[in-house]
Amino acid sequence: MDAFEKVRTRLETQPQEEYEVVNAEIKHGGFVYYQEGCCLVRSKDEEADSDNYEVLFNLEELKLDQPFIDCIRVAPDEKYVAAKIRTEDSETSTLVVVKLSDQPVMEASFPNVSSFEWVKDEEDEDVLFYTFQRNLRCHDV
């Protein structure tokens, strides 16, 4: 079985109930991850409605015009969070990966990402798979 078959099998068999998506808000572990103003934040599940949250990443660092979070996924071991960032006037997205620690830091960003998902590999390490768009064109028919 090749690597892509392994990933597809894992994605199909990975439990989906660990994610409860409401807009760009996701519950994972004991936390809720969401956008507050221009920031990706998390708060403890029981404190989700309060102003007591931890800022993980400021979207203004991307220097985009009116960015918003389109999708959030937390790595299974909860050491990383990935968020797909879009703007109102564009369909293209930037994927941002933040390492969760005492001082959260953006580890990587990838332009033109259309979808992404975390999986565990055979060594039980978290792996981020993503697809991106290239050479898209619009044609009138």
Nearest one of 119, 120, 121, 67 to 95, comparing CA atoms: 67
**35, HSE (Cβ side, Cα atoms, 13 Å):** 21
Q: φ and ψ at 88, to 5 degrees?
A: -60, -35
Mean pLDDT by 10 residues, the chain (141 residues): 66 54 74 93 80 92 91 94 91 92 95 91 90 76 70
Residue 88: per-residue pLDDT = 84
Dist. CA 78–CA 85, nearest whole Å: 20
Asked whether 25 and 32 are in contact (CB, 8 A), the reply is: yes
- The CA angle 41-46-51, to the nearest 5 degrees, is 45
The whole model's pTM is what?
Answer: 0.77
What pLDDT is recorded for position 68? 93
pLDDT computed for residue 67 by the predictor: 92
* Spans of all domains in the chain: 18-132
The span from the CA of 63 to the CA of 48, in Å, is: 28
pLDDT, position 14:
59
pLDDT at res. 52: 85
